[in-house]
Structure 1
Amino acid sequence: MYFITSRMPVERAKTQRGPGKPYTFDLEDNASGQEFFCCQKTGKKTHVELGGKALLSALKEAPYRQVLLYLHGFSNLPDDIFANAQEFQDLCDAKKKGEVLVLPVIWPCDNDLGIVKDYWDDQKSADLSAFALARMMQRFMDWRNSPETNPADDPCLKRINVLAHSMGNRVLRQTMVNWQKDYQPAGVPLLFRNTFLVAADIVNESLHRGQPGELLSHASRNVVVYYASDDLALRASKVSNLKNAEASRRLGHSGPEDMDRTPKNVYAIDCDDVNTDYDPPKGHSYFRSIPKTKKPGVVFEHIFQTITSGRVFPDDETRKSSVLRLGKPAKG
């Protein structure tokens, strides 16, 4: 499995790092610097650094039509992230082989004991990770626009999607802000076919016009928000954020505060009827398999349908919201 990370490796010296050399996660270091590493998981506990150009070339040549960047939530260590990404990859392959390649983007969650301490440390790491990931975005644009790596007779035709879960939405939102500020002052380009915001741990006004999350709608054909009012993890998140005088509900709890104030390509999907069935009792990670099975849940089904069709509600393109129920995917 290919992956990108802003976690520093154990191999700190420049002579220890580089294409073809081992990459080992330093789990005791949750600081995110300006660097990012393009790697491949080669065994249960082994990884090798590829370098940016080699990874992008490998993705271009991979026998998949689309790429899905996966930004995980808080308090997730690499083994958890790889397992979740592999589960999603297996679901995609079972639906349609050669359609979606899952690419985890791993930012440095903390390795502390105690969920509250983890939460605050991870918020800081999420914000700092956005600097490195904004560089990653620009590196991709430079590679894609280079006549050397993508000549006119051999362009990269992969469609790119992104799925952010929980605090990964904070990473993604700030990445877009930094990308525009540091590299795209005239406005971010249309890069993503679909952006999926699942159980988003950001305030529910984030996607409104004039708010930082609006950039996601500029960079995406579709922005799809999946939310559930009984998501216990986000309920705790709201209480925790009162410390910073941030009393607003979370986007993953209620969907956008006011759909009329969001750009026209933002959609909201109510998952209240399925989230605790798929992730009991928290109801927070509800976008992959049905528990104790390898069968896809209705949230995954909707995500996959949107990836393959490029339309959130293909039967009714004027529709902006829907409710997901067990055994009944959202329809137009």
Structure 2
Amino acid sequence: MLFITNRQPQGAVSKKFKKNFKFDLKNNAPSNSVFCCERHGEGQYKEIGSQALLSKLSDDSAQQILFYIHGFSNMPEPNIFPRALQLQALFDRKERGLVKVVPLIWPCDNDPGIVKDYWDDQKSADMSGVSFARALQFFMKWRDSVPESDPCIKRINVLAHSMGNRVFRETLSAWDHYDLASGIPLLFRNTFLVAADVVNESLEPGQKGRLICQASRNVSVYYASDDLALRSSKVSNLKNKVASRRLGHSGPEDMSKTLSNVYAIDCDDINTKYDWPKGHSYFLEDDNDNPGAVFEHIFSSIKTGRVQVDDKKYRHHILEE
């Protein structure tokens, strides 16, 4: 499995690629560098560099790429890679060769205590934006260097879960601020904001999250009011004087202020079925290892390029079994 990370490796950072890349899990400070790597098994990672990673993605038989940005307090093993492999297996069961899953790994903390962990991870998520903006620049330079006679035509999608939405938002903000002269390009076919741990006005005018909408053909917001992990998030943010509801709890605050490519997907009826009792990581399978309703909805959007909603006027959909 290919992956990109701004977690610090063990040992000094050098210009030579590390044949045995090892995460420094005690260090949750985001690196200014990004490391493009390949996982060969649990704890077996090799740094290959951006050119090799992009070439491997271009040559891969999969038609589309899905970048998966994980949530807070997640470690590479046993959290992030197993979940990315679950996603890959679900896509392969539906249609082998359609999607290649590539995790983006940012440095969460593993201190005890959810509130301390949470606040440390918010800072790390914000600072990670600059690192991953560099990765986007690598991609743009690589794309421009590819001969016009042999372009890469793969579609790119993003699935951001929980605080991964904050990482994604800050990445586009840093990219727009430091590298782009005329706004964000339309780069992503589908962006899936699942249980998003950002304020629910994030996609409105004047907010950083607006760039997500500008960079994507479709933006699907999956939310559930009984998401217990986001209730803990709200407690932590109130402690730090942030009172707004979370996007993953209520969906967009006012759909009329969002762009027409934003869709609100209500997951209240099914989220705890797939993740009991927290109802937070509800985008995978059910207890019988069958693809869940949220995954099926995501798959449909990737397959067709269109988001299924019952209420097309208000761009709203209720997911049920």
Query: TM (normalized to structure 2)?
Result: 0.97
Matches for 1:289-328 after TM superposition, within 5 Å: 289-291=285-287, 293-313=288-308, 320-326=315-321
Distance 1:319 1:89 in 2: 32
Distance 2:114 2:249 in 1: 20
Q: 1:212 aligns with which of 199, 208, 225?
A: 208
Alignment-derived partner of residue 182 in structure 1? 178
Is the counterpart of residue 198 in structure 1 residue 189 in structure 2? no
Structure 1 residue 221 displacement after superposition:
0.1
Alignment-derived partner of residue 282 in structure 1? 278
Structure 1 residue 313 displacement after superposition:
2.1
Q: 1:66 aligns with which of 61, 64, 67?
A: 64
Is the counterpart of residue 23 in structure 1 residue 21 in structure 2? yes
Which residue identity lines up with residue 155 of structure 1 in the other structure?
A: P
Distance 2:8 2:121 in 1: 15
Is the counterpart of residue 113 in structure 1 residue 112 in structure 2? yes
Q: Is the 8 A contact 2:310 2:316 kept in 1?
A: no
- Structure 1 residues 303 and 13: CA distance shift in structure 2, 3 A: closer
Distance 1:47 1:94 in 2: 26
Which residue identity lines up with residue 98 of structure 1 in the other structure?
A: G
Q: Is the 8 A contact 1:11 1:23 kept in 2?
A: no
Alignment-derived partner of residue 137 in structure 1? 136
Structure 1 residue 318 displacement after superposition:
5.1
Structure 1 residue 243 displacement after superposition:
2.3
Alignment-derived partner of residue 249 in structure 2? 253
How many residue pairs are counted as aligned between the two chains?
320
- Structure 1 residues 181 and 279: CA distance shift in structure 2, 3 A: same
- Structure 1 residues 122 and 14: CA distance shift in structure 2, 3 A: same
Q: 1:270 aligns with which of 266, 275, 283?
A: 266
Q: Is the 8 A contact 1:311 1:317 kept in 2?
A: no
Is the counterpart of residue 36 in structure 1 residue 31 in structure 2? no
Q: Which runs of 5+ in 2 are unaligned?
A: none
Structure 1 residue 186 displacement after superposition:
1.2
Deviations 1:263-304 (A, max 9, x none): 11110000000001110000000000112x221000000000
Alignment-derived partner of residue 154 in structure 1? 150
Root mean square deviation, CA, Å: 1.3
Distance 1:314 1:62 in 2: 32
Alignment-derived partner of residue 54 in structure 1? 52
Which secondary structure state, in structure 2, belongs to the residue aligned with residue 129 of structure 1? helix
Query: TM (normalized to structure 1)?
Result: 0.94
Which secondary structure state, in structure 2, belongs to the residue aligned with residue 70 of structure 1? strand
Which secondary structure state, in structure 1, belongs to the residue aligned with residue 198 of structure 2? coil
Q: Is the 8 A contact 2:190 2:217 kept in 1?
A: yes
Which residue identity lines up with residue 117 of structure 2 in the other structure?
A: D
Q: Is the 8 A contact 2:311 2:317 kept in 1?
A: no
Distance 1:109 1:28 in 2: 10
Alignment-derived partner of residue 14 in structure 2? 14
Distance 1:315 1:235 in 2: 28
Q: Is the 8 A contact 1:60 1:158 kept in 2?
A: yes
Q: Is the 8 A contact 1:209 1:263 kept in 2?
A: no
Share of identical aligned residues, percent? Answer: 59
Which secondary structure state, in structure 2, belongs to the residue aligned with residue 14 of structure 1? coil
- Structure 1 residues 319 and 97: CA distance shift in structure 2, 3 A: farther
Q: Indicate the larger mover: 1-10 or 107-116.
A: 107-116
Distance 2:226 2:89 in 1: 28
Q: Is the 8 A contact 2:309 2:316 kept in 1?
A: no
Large movers: runs of 4+ above 3 Å: 314-319
Structure 1 residue 141 displacement after superposition:
0.8
Q: Is the 8 A contact 1:313 1:319 kept in 2?
A: no
Q: Is the 8 A contact 1:230 1:253 kept in 2?
A: yes
Which secondary structure state, in structure 2, belongs to the residue aligned with residue 221 of structure 1? strand
Which secondary structure state, in structure 2, belongs to the residue aligned with residue 287 of structure 1? coil
Which residue identity lines up with residue 115 of structure 1 in the other structure?
A: I
Structure 1 residue 317 displacement after superposition:
5.9
Which secondary structure state, in structure 1, belongs to the residue aligned with residue 264 of structure 2? strand
